[in-house]
Every structure is written in structure tokens, then in C-alpha cells.
Amino acid sequence: MKKLIVSPAPHLHGKETTKSLMRDVVIALVPSLLVSVYYFGFSAIKLALVGIATAVLVEYVIQRYIVKTKITINDYSAALTGLLLSLNLPPNSPWWIMFIGSVVAIGIAKMTFGGVGQNLFNPALVGRVFLLVSFPVIMTDYSIPSSWFREGIDAGSGATALSIVKESLAKGMTMDQIFSQNDFSYAQMLFSKIGGSVGEVSAFALILGFIYLLIRKVIKPHIPLAIVGTVIVFSGIFWLIDPTHYTDPLFNVLTGGILIGSIFMATDYVTSPMSNKGMIIYGIGIGLITMLIRNWGAYPEGISFAILILNACVPLINMYFKPVRFGKGVKHG
Amino acid sequence: MTTTIIFTIASLSLLGLVLALILYFTAQKFKVVEDPRIDDVETILPGANCGGCGFAGCRAFAEGCVKADSLDGLFCPVGGNDTMKKVAGYLGVTVADKAPQVAVVRCNGNCDSRPKSSNYDGYTSCAVMANLYSGDTDCRYGCLGQGDCEISCDFDAIKMNPRTGLPEVDEEKCTACGACVKACPKFIIELRNKGPKGKRIFVSCINKDKGGVAKKACAVACIGCTKCQKVCAYDAITISSNLAYIDYNKCKLCRKCVVECPTNAIWEVNFPVRVPKRETADVEQQ
Amino acid sequence: MSKTFSIGGIHPKDNKISVKAAIENFPVMETAYISMSQHLGAPAEPVVAKGDKVKTGQLIAKANGFISANIHSSVSGTVSAIELMPDLAGNLVQHVVVKVEGDEWDEKIDRSPEIVREIKLSPSEIIAKIADCGIVGLGGAAFPTHIKLSPPPGKKAEFLVMNGAECEPYLTSDYRIMLENPEEILIGTRIMMTALGVKKAYVGIEDNKPKAIKAMKELCSKSYRDIKIVSLQKKYPQGGEKQLIDAILGRQVPSMGLPIDTGVVVQNVGTALAVYEAVQKNKPLFEGVVTVTGKCMTEQRNFRMRVGTTFESMLFAVGGFPKDAEKLVSGGPMMGKAVARIEAASVKSTSALLLLTEEETKRKPEGNCIRCAKCVDACPMGLEPFLLNRLSRAGRIDDLEANLVQDCIECGSCLYVCPANIPLLDTIRLSKASVLKIMRSRPKK
């Protein structure tokens, strides 16, 4: 008689694995990667490769030689962190910046907490913020490197739309003056040649990735929509009050890291809340803090800080915002 | 410059003083009067907080000792007689010596003698497995081998042996706290007297099936043949529902039953090697 | 638009590969092993002795205690032993072993094929009859039906909800009886409506069974206007009684509550057929429809099978044990029990014998929880399986109770979806049992 397998129910299992989910996120980033290669050429490829290789290598070394646990580099999560970080750097960053960022992201933000699933903060963002405060000059130099695909790009401004606006406002200019001096049309922002980090260049490509993730049911729309909604409402109020000193809502959504942050960073499974209600609260919090930093903070962009701050609140959010329980609040009988 | 420093020092000192006063008065106001002897008894105890005494932790046990009139029925298995004597000496009462105990695994069926009849594929936990079915061998009483006892042990004294698939007790480390006894869903582990110089004899099986069924499932099962009972001169062995049990209070360690057992289910531990040597008896010593 | 329940749920592939197999009678075996513990509650007390002659349908064990059920012989022959034998999980249960001689039925049983439509008995007579015939819920839990049909004092049933969802993949036994015996099911439903004194009943059927919906709807529109057929979306666990009530009536049973708290009694369509046969035809529950299926098998069958048939003989009847089958499951793949002993025998509520291959069923190694919240989205009770799992492993009973572990219906959706293959339900089931034990030991307020 053959030995039968005996196990508790259920006896069937779904097809999704950690690996397949992470791979889907990587696939969703491909459009953005392609656009950035089109605009920034070799530089974008270089950053992505260095980022992924370093992240995977650091994870391997730590798991193999330091903590001596199961190696999990096959599940794409380290590669995803490296890729995301590379898309969050200025296109002209040197390779060693990427290297340091990846080491910090995996070594400090992920592995010290116990590896995949255990980290409190989004590793890619920790890497980025670490670089931003350690190397402020390099990290805010958005000059565009020469590209194989496009020559004679009207480059050189070396600044993002948000920082241009911020600096100009500080000089006492009004919005009309700023917009007349710079070309900030929405079409430009959607398909973009406005300065920004590698992955931010095309809002359209990011939205394409978002749609892919939704179709594959990898993420739910709650967090991105809550963030974007909050940004629109918040900036809309100030814009309506004083259009000469505040940018309009659409400008706010399309520039900077709102889209890449809300679609790929804030929705990171490990560092986002579990219930729908919690996700909305989390999204609103990120949107609010981002706009506070943008309007009144020292940095032109604040979504990285906003996400990290809300990451810290996630355990609390999980504790207080539970899913809708069956049989609660419904009249019986 | 200097004024800033002076102001800083002065304001911080003031703040410290005010907070200290608040703390002092709060402590006075909400002071809980407690028998100071509890603290002292607690320092005598080993501080393992294992719960082996039946109390929630060492402090609860200390409180129990101080409040009780005599120390009868109160025993710290970790500290043993020495600790109890110290406690008794401190509290000015007497305490009777208790024979030291040790956890004993009463299953003998390793991978060879008790072949697997199904493959368990679930959470590695004896409790989950016992809830699901009678076990992955044909013996419904035997060890499930998922190691709940190992997890329950605070003292690192019980370990699963991957070769036999059975837990093994480290006599030196075992404090007889009873955590593994509670953790085992099959009630295989028993606390028994350690015996003189650690010598003890026990039936390493709890299979209550009829002899034929038990023997078919496991080569080293107790088949309830009553041979050991007949050979025992001290009336220490009882047989109920096809299973022999040796009363450790009556056993005089004569070792006659060990030789008599046809399935090697009776184990002797810490005895000098005898000729002809019995293999199974020495497994635990190795 | 088909209805469905409001929270959670999963969509496993339904794999109903045995839908086309008409119900056939399973040959009567040589020896029947009739378990005394075929229902929830106390085992029944045998009333026959070794050497007695029994007929098919004769009472062989009496209900023992309030929650228990009568057991009848499924074969005719001589009682050869009354002894402890392993059930499918290897635990010892008392069995009456009957050596089969011919197939002589008890003369009270009406074996004619005519459908008896008129209900002559009063509600209390119906319930007594159902209890006599040992009817239990055939949806899986095997709760004695006569108790479910007698609501506790102070509670009044408003509706009867019939479960024809058959949301478990692979199973087709309910589908086949809805197709082959639709009128008997509706009469059985009416009998239970009479017993409960309710005016309206609903039959929920998932829309992957359009033929059954059509057959039942046609009958209802003709002569059973007080019974409404409700088409439901295909979603697991639609057949859970709380989910079914939510889907059909939009009412939610409160935490720790029973369906009767919302004025509803839920019964399975298989039970309705058994009730019809008991009340109208005097036939006790001793046989049922069992699907024998699996991807590794060449043919898929639906059998009408006597209680006490061993799994071994079922396998034998379909051509032996397929080479690549690694797991036998009694019941559906989501909530059924794995068979550890093939010499164990079927019981009243056995609805299927499912053969799974290693590829389908083997668990993959457990990984770290990535907090993807898939389990939270899948849980039909709105619980947080990832959290309950963590609390269970830490043994934090108070927190488990605060997070409603006792509401878990053990449907297995969380474990099904988990991308990290964490044994969520294994640990939750264990802690649920200990929490319920503590809750029940508390003095009632």
C-alpha cells in the first residue's frame, strides 16, 4: 500500500506565490524603465543594473554568511528594491551612489529587521532618503545625460519643475511669471522631458504599470487613489484661494514623485496597512504630509518622507482599523 | 554666552527637582504595602519563571510560600531540594525532601521499529497533527515527532533526535518542570523519580492496543504479555488494558523485567553495562 | 445578475469534471462497516447484538443523548461483530459490522418510484419521523436535522434557505440530485417548511449549474410558488450557511450567533431529498450520493452508495488506485478530510471521494509573511488570518478572542490564497478550539 499524504484542509492551493507577485511589480515597472532608457540612455540602464545587482548580492552575502538563513534572492524582492531605487535617482547619478543606496536599502532597511516581510520601512525609500541627506548636491542635480536615442535635448536646467517653482516663489515671483518663463504643459508632464529622477519622467508609463498591477490584482487601488485624491483636494483648496502663489492640482499630481511614490512605493505590501479602511487613512496621511512639505517645507518634494513617516504609523493603523467584520452593524432578524 | 549656559543649567536643574518631587510624592501616595519577605524569597528562587511549580512565575510562587503556613505541596522543581531548604530556612519552617524527578519519554518506536504508514503534510506541530488524525504510523499512541515538547522546554533539555524521530531528555538540564508533559498531545512524557544515581527502569511504551495490533504497528511496543508482572518480586508492575506500568516507588531496580520483556519495551537507564549487552537499553546513554 | 455574499471569498477553479456522470447504484458490498458516530454529537447506542439478522433499513442503533441520531442498517445480513475500528482519521470508533446476505429491505419502506406529493403529517409528526429515520445534515457537518428543525424557545424561523450552491470544487453529488430528483427536493423542502411553520423558502444554486437552476425553476413556477430559486455567483465559500444567508437575504448572522438568530434555517438539498424519502417513503437515511472523482482518474462517477462502504472498495469499483494519486479526500477539496486509512468506511455525510495528485495538493515550503493582505481580502468573515496566525503561535488567547478567532468558519480561503504558503488555518483552527473552550467554560451572564 502506498503512503498517502495526510494534511489538514484545504487540500488545494492557489497559484500565486511571493515570487510571482514581486515579478509582476517588476514587470509593471518595465514601461517606466523603457521610457527612461529612451530619455537618458545608457545612464538609466547602468543605474538599474548596478541597483539590482548590488541589492541581490548584498542580500545573498548577508543571508549566506552573516545571518545564515534560507537564501531568498530568487523571490525578486531584492531585485525589485534595487530597481525601484534606481528609478528614484537623478539620471546623472554616478554608479557608486547607486551602490551605496542599494547597500543601505537591503543591508540596513531590510536585512537588519529580518529580511523579506519583516522590515518596518520601505527599503528603497530608506536608501533614497539616506542618499538625499548624505549627498544633497548629487541627489538634486537633475541635469540630463547625453542619450544614444535623442541628441541635442534642451537639457541643462538641472532642476525639477517643483524646485523651479519653489525657488522662483522664494524670489517673489508669481505663478504667471513662473509659467511664462518655463514650459510646464500637461502633455510635457505626461510624456515628459521635464527634469526629474529616472522613473519620474513619464506619468503615462507609470499609469500603464498601475493598470497592469490592478488587472493582475497585485495591488488594490485604495492607496494610490487616496494619495492622489488628497493631493488634488489639498492643493485645489490653496490654488482656489490664491492661484498666484500655489500651483494647480493637476500640476501637483503630474510632477515629482507623486505617481511613482503612490503606485510603487506606498503600496509596498510589507509597509502598508492590511485593511481597506487602513489603506485609505494611510493614503490620506501620505498625501497631506507630501503637500505640507511641498508648500512649506525646505525640500521641494516630500513624498519620500511622507511615505516613511506613514510607514512608521502602519502598526498603529493596523491595530485600530480592522476589516469590516461579518455580522457587524447589520440588523439581525 | 555665559548667561545662556547658566540659564540652561539652572532651568534644567529646576525641572529635574520639580519632577523628582512629583515622583517622590506619587510614589508615597500609591505605595503598595507588601510583605518584604516575598522579595527575599524571590531572590532565593532560580528565577526561571517556568511555571513548573504551578504558579504563574517565581514571584507568585514566592508569595505563595510566604502566605502558606507550611511548605507542604509547594515545590520548585528547578531549584529542587536545595532551594526549598533555603526558603524553608528563611521562613523558619521545615520542609520534607522530595525525590528529584526527571521527564521520561515513554515511546520507543523509532523510524525502523515503527514504519510510517502515511506522510503528514501540514504545520509542524504535534497538536495540529493530533487534531487531524491518529498519527503517521499505525500506532495510535506513539510519538508524532513534530517536536512540541522541544519548543515547550525552557531549559533546552529535551531535543528531537532526527535519527530516531523521537525526543531525548538531557538529564543534567531537565528540571522536571512538567512543561513538556503538558505540551505532548499524546501524553507520552511522564515525570518519574530520577532514582539512586539516576538509575531507573520504565516501560517505554503507552500502546493500549491488543498485543497483535500493537506488535504489528511497532516492533518495540508493549504487548501486555504480563511476563514482567510475573517476574517482578516487588509487585511494582501493573497491567491494565494491555499495557504494563512500573510504579517507581515500588521498583527495587532488580532488572529482571528488562530481560524478560520480549519486545525490549522496558528500558533501564544509567545501569552498568551487563553481559550480554542489550542494545536498546543504551540508546539514551549515548 | 446573480447574487453573492458581501465579504471576501475566493475563486478556485471549479473542476466539476464529473457533472455528466448520471447517478448509478453502487454494488452492495460483502461486509458493511457501520460507524456509530456518523453525526455531530454523542455516538449512537447499538440495539443489535452479534449474530442478529438485520434487514436493510432496520434500526441498529438508537440516538444517545440530545444531540445524536438513529442509525439504520444499510444492508441485510448477519451482525458479525460490534467493535472498535479506525475511522478515516485512524481514531477508534464503535462500528457494527454486518455480513451481507442478499438485499432484503424492511417491509415498511415504500420502494415504488411514484412521487408522493401530499404531505399528510403534522409538524411535530414530521420532526418525530425525521428523528426516527436518523436524518442528519448532508452539507458536511452532519448535524442531526430534527434538532435544527426545532428552533429553541423564543426563536422563530421566518425563512428556510436551501443550500444547493455546492461551492466546493470537484463535487457534483448535489448537482446530480437536483437534476435527477428536483421534485423530490422541492417536496422535501415543503415538508421542512411545514415542520418549521415558515411560508417562504429559497434555494440558492451557483450559476455554474445552469441546468439545475433551469430544472428547479420550471418546477417552482408550476407548482411550488412558495419556493424561490436564487441564482448565485460562483464564489467559495458560498455554501457556508452564514454566507448563504447573506447572499440570498442580505442578513448577517451576528458573531457567535446561529442562523436562527436572523430567523433563518439553512438545510442542504441532499438533506431535503433524505427528508422526502423519510417522510413520504418511510426510508431511513442509509444511502447517499457520492462523487468519486479526480483528475488522475480515467472515469468520473456519481454513485448512490450504502453507508458503510469502505474507501478501498470504492477505489476498487473505479478500477483501482491510480498511480499518480497521492491524497484521498473524503468530501470537497477545501473542507474535506484527508483519508489516512482506506479500510475506513463511508458515513451518512460522505459526499465525495476525491483523488488528488501530488502536484495539486502538496504544500510548498513556508516563507515569510509579506503582509500582502490577500488573506484579509479572502476571509469571508472579515477576520485577519495573518494576525490570528501570529497570535496563535504566541499563544495569546485574550488577543485571539478580541480579534474574533471564534468566528472563523474554517473554510480554508486564507490558506488557499497565501502566496507564502503559511499554514494559517492549521494554527487558527487549533487556537479557535482553545478559545471556544475558554469561552464556554465562563459563567453565562
pLDDT in tens, B50-78: 888 888 888 888 888 888 888 887 888 88
Residue C276 lies in a domain: yes
Size of interface B-C (CB pairs under 8 A): 40
The answer to whether residues C417 and A14 touch, using CB atoms and an 8 Å cutoff, is: yes
Question: How far is residue A17's CA from residue C61's CA, in Å, rounded to a whole number?
Answer: 50
Task: Give chain A's length.
Answer: 333
Chain B nearest CA to C86, separation (Å): 9
Q: Distance from B133 to chain C by nearest Cα, in Å? A: 5
Cβ atoms of residues C213 and C204 within 8 Å: no
- Under 8 Å between Cβ of B175 and B50: yes
Residue-wise pLDDT tens digits, A212-245:
999 999 999 999 999 999 999 999 999 999 888 8
Across chain C, which distance is largest between two alpha carbons, in Å?
63
Rounded to the nearest 10°, the torsion over CA A226, A231, A234, A239 is: -150
Q: Are C430 and B128 a contacting pair at CB < 8 A?
A: yes
Residues β-bridged to residue B120: A6
Cβ pair B89, B125 in contact under 8 A: no
C50 falls within a domain = no
- Say whether residue A170 is in contact with chain C using an 8 A CB cutoff: no
For C28, the grid coordinates are 452492495
C-alpha to C-alpha distance for A89 and A43, rounded to whole angstroms: 11
Considering only CB atoms, which chain A residues are within 8 Å of B120? 5-7
Q: Where are the alpha helices (DSSP H) in C197-352?
A: 210-223, 241-249, 269-281, 311-317
If you search the block for the grid coordinates 485577519, which residue do you land on?
A: C384
pLDDT of residue A189: 66
ipTM of the complex: 0.88
Kindly report the nearest CA distance between residue C123 and chain A, in angstroms: 23
Q: What are C3-33's pLDDT values in tens digits?
A: 899 899 999 998 999 999 999 999 988 999 9
Please give the Cα distance from A136 to C394 (Å, whole number): 45
B221 to B40, B50, B116, B210, B266: CA distances (angstroms) = 49, 33, 15, 10, 9
Which residues, other chains included, contact B223 with Cβ-Cβ below 8 Å and sequence gap of 6+?
B211, B212, B214, B215, B242, B262, B263, B265
Interface of C with A in 116-145 (CB under 8 A): none
C246 in contact with chain A, both atoms CB, cutoff 8 A: yes
Rounded to a whole number of angstroms, the CA Rg of chain B reads 27
Q: Per residue in B116-168, pLDDT tens?
A: 889 999 899 999 999 999 988 989 999 999 999 999 998 899 999 998 889 99
A137 contact B CB<8A: no
> Nearest residue of A to residue B120 by CA position?
A6
The whole-angstrom separation of Cα C385 and Cα C428 is 8
Residues of A in contact with B136 (CB under 8 A): 6
A5 Cβ under 8 Å from any chain B Cβ: yes
Q: How far is C426 from chain B (nearest CA, A)?
A: 6
**Per-residue pLDDT band at A188 (split at 50, 70, 90):** low
Spell out a b/e string for B2-28, using b for 16 or more CB atoms within 10 Å of the CB, else e.
Answer: eeeeeeeeeeeeeeeeeeeeeeeeeee
**Quick one: CA dihedral C223, C228, C232, C237, positive or negative?**
negative
CA distances from C227 to A230, A277, C177, C278 (A): 50, 39, 17, 21
Pairing of strands C337-338, C325-330: antiparallel
Q: Which amino acid is at A276?
A: N
Q: How far apart are CA B254 and CA B232, in angstroms?
A: 9
Neighbours of chain B (3+ CB pairs under 8 A): A, C
Q: Does the pLDDT at position A192 exceed 90?
A: no
Q: How far is CA A301 from CA A37, A266, B195, C359, in A?
A: 23, 15, 75, 50
Alpha-carbon distance C28 to C55, whole Å? 13
Give the pLDDT score at B64: 87
Given CB atoms, is A6 within the 8 Å cutoff of chain B? yes
Which residue in C359, C426, C427, C429 has the most chain B C-beta atoms within 10 A of its own C-beta, making it the best mutation to test that interface? C426
User: Under an 8 A CB cutoff, do A275 and C373 touch?
Assistant: yes
Contact A72 C367 (CB under 8 A): yes
Strand partners, B105: B189
Domain ranges of chain A: 18-139, 161-320
pLDDT values of chain C reduced to their tens digit, one per residue, 445 residues? 688 998 999 999 989 999 999 999 999 889 999 999 998 889 999 999 999 999 999 999 999 888 999 999 999 999 999 999 999 998 999 999 999 998 889 989 998 888 999 889 999 999 999 999 999 999 878 899 999 999 888 888 999 999 999 999 999 999 999 999 999 999 999 999 999 999 999 999 999 999 999 999 999 998 899 999 999 999 999 999 999 999 999 999 998 889 999 999 999 999 999 999 999 999 999 999 999 999 988 889 999 999 999 999 999 888 888 888 899 999 999 999 999 998 999 999 999 999 999 988 989 999 999 999 999 999 999 999 999 999 999 989 999 999 999 999 999 999 999 999 999 999 999 999 999 999 999 887 6
The domain total for chain C is: 2
Q: Is A247 within 8 Å of A239 (Cβ atoms)?
A: yes
Phi, psi of A295 (to 5 degrees): -80, -40
A206 versus A328: which is more confidently predicted? A206
Q: Is C343 on the interface with B (CB under 8 A)?
A: no
Does residue B107 contact residue B280 with C-beta atoms inside 8 Å? no
CA closest to A5 among chain B residues: B119
Contact A5 B136 (CB under 8 A): no
Q: Do A275 and C169 touch (CB under 8 A)?
A: no
CB contact under 8 A, A269 and C372: yes
What is the reported pTM? 0.88
Amino acid at C388: L
Residue of B nearest to C362 (CA): B121
Residue count of chain B, please give it.
286
Q: Closest CB to C252: pick one of A20, A118, A326.
A: A326
Q: Do C373 and A8 touch (CB under 8 A)?
A: no
Q: Which residue in A133, A159, A118 sits closest to A271, CA to CA?
A: A118
pLDDT of residue A157: 52
pLDDT at position B31 over 70 = yes
* C379 and C355 within one domain: no
Name all chains with 3 or more CB-CB pairs below 8 Å to chain C: A, B
- Using the predicted structure, report yes or no on whether residue A155 has a pLDDT greater than 80: no
Q: Which position has the grid cell 499495557?
A: B243
Residues in B closer than 8 angstroms to A6, CB to CB, are 118-121, 132-133, 136
Domain of C163, in residue numbers: 1-16+107-362
Chain A neighbours among C 165-224 (CB < 8 Å)? 169
- C420 residue type, one letter: A
C80 occurs within a structural domain: no
B101-282 has which CATH code? 3.30.70.20
Which residue in chain B is spatially nearest to A10 when comparing CA positions?
B122
Nearest to B121 by CA among C409, C14, C356, C346: C356
Residues of B contacting chain A (CB within 8 angstroms):
116-123, 128, 131-133, 136
Q: Does C427 touch chain A (CB under 8 A)?
A: no
CATH architecture classification, B36-91: Orthogonal Bundle (1.10)
CB neighbours of residue A40 within 10 Å: 25
Residues whose CB is less than 8 angstroms from the CB of residue A190 and which lie 6 or more positions away in sequence, other chains included: A202, A203, A204, A254
Strand partners, B161: B166
> What phi, psi does C192 have (nearest 5°)?
-70, -35
Asked whether the beta carbons of residue A8 and residue B118 sit closer than 8 angstroms, the reply is no
Q: How far is C9 from C378, CA to CA, in rounded Å?
A: 5
Q: Considering only the beta carbons, identify the residue of B123, B131, B136 that sits closest to A6.
A: B136
Residue C296: burial class (beta carbons within 10 Å; 0-12, 13-18, 19+): middle
Task: Give the model confidence (pLDDT) of C371-387 as tens digits.
Answer: 999 999 999 999 999 99
**Residue among B117, B132, B136 whose CB faces A8 most closely:** B132
- As a whole number, the mean pLDDT across chain C is 92
How far apart CA A227 and CA B75 sit, in angstroms, is: 61
Cβ of residue C426 closer than 8 Å to a chain A Cβ: yes
* pLDDT, tens digit (0-9, with 9 covering 90-100), for B76-97: 888 888 888 888 888 888 888 8
Which of B121, B128, B133, B137 to probe the A interface (max A CBs under 10 A)?
Answer: B121
pLDDT of residue A332: 46
Q: Phi-psi region for residue B255, left (φ > 0), alpha (ψ -120 to 50) or beta? A: left
**A260-295: b (≥16 Cβ within 10 Å) or e:** bbbbbbbbbbbbbbbbbbbbbbbbbbbbbbbbebbb
Minimal Cα distance from B121: which residue of C?
C363
CA distance C49 to chain A (A): 33
User: Taking CB atoms and an 8 Å limit, are B122 and A8 in contact across chains?
Assistant: yes
> Is C330 in the same domain as C224?
yes
> DSSP of B80-93, one letter per residue?
HHHHHHHHHHHHT-
Nearest by CB to C426, which of B128, B133, B135? B128
Residue A38: what pLDDT? 82
- The answer to whether C126 and C194 have CB atoms below 8 angstroms apart is yes
Distance CA B94, CA B13 (A): 53
Give the CA angle between residues B77, B78, B84 to the nearest 5°: 65
Residues of C in contact with B125 (CB under 8 A): 426-427, 430
Radius of gyration of chain A (CA): 21
Residue C33 lies in a domain: no
Q: Is A8 on the interface with B (CB under 8 A)?
A: yes
pLDDT tops 60 at residue B112: yes
What is the DSSP code string of C140-206? TT--BHHHHTSPPTT----EEEEEE---SSS--HHHHHHHHSHHHHHHHHHHHHHHHT-SEEEEEEE
* Contact predicate A18/C420, CB 8 Å: yes
Structure confidence at residue C354 (pLDDT):
94
Inter-chain CB proximity B133 and A7 less than 8 Å: no
Residue B274: CB atoms within 10 A of its CB come to 12
Buried b (16+ CB within 10 A) or exposed e, B86-101: ebbeebeeebeeeeeb
Q: Which residue of A has its CA nearest to C429?
A: A8
To the nearest whole angstrom, how far is the Cα of A19 from the nearest Cα of chain B?
Answer: 21
- Cross-strand pairs, C328: C355
* Gap between the Cα atoms of B171 and C47, Å rounded: 53
Confidence band for A156, pLDDT divided at 50, 70 and 90? very low
In degrees, rounded to 5, the angle at the alpha carbon of residue A96 between the alpha carbons of residues A94 and A100 is: 130
Average pLDDT of the residues of chain B: 87
> In this predicted model, what pLDDT tens digit does every residue of B194-217 receive, in sequence order?
888 888 999 999 999 888 889 989
N- to C-terminal Cα separation, chain B: 76
**Phi/psi at A234 (nearest 5 deg)?**
-65, -50
When CB atoms are compared, the residue of C92, C340, C426 closest to B122 is C426
CA distances from B209 to B112, B138, B221, C239, C274 (A): 20, 11, 10, 40, 38
pLDDT above 90: percentage of residues in chain B: 38
The C-alpha cell at B41 is: 524569597
| Chain B interface includes A298 (CB < 8 A) | no
DSSP per residue over A11-78, as a string?
A: ----S--HHHHHHHHHHHHHHHHHHHHHHHTHHHHHHHHHHHHHHHHHHHHIIIIIS-----GGGSHH
Q: What is the pLDDT of residue A152?
A: 44
If asked whether residues C176 and C296 sit together in one domain, one would say yes
Q: Does C92 touch chain B (CB under 8 A)?
A: yes
* pLDDT tens figures, A105-120: 999 999 999 888 899 9
B123/C423 touch (CB, cutoff 8 Å), yes or no = yes
Compute the distance between CA of residue B268 and CA of residue A166 in angstroms, rounded to an integer.
85
Q: What is the largest CA-CA distance in chain B?
A: 99
Asked, for residue C344, whether it belongs to a domain, the answer is yes
The shortest C-alpha distance from A77 to chain B (Å) reads 25
User: Which of A:193-222 have CB within 8 Å of C?
Assistant: 220
Residue ranges per domain, chain B? 36-91, 101-282
Do C297 and C232 share a domain, yes or no? yes
Please indicate, yes or no, whether residues C299 and C408 belong to a single structural domain of this protein. Answer: no
- Amino acid C56 reads T
CB contact residues (below 8 A), chain C span 320-349, against chain A: 321, 326-329, 333-340, 342
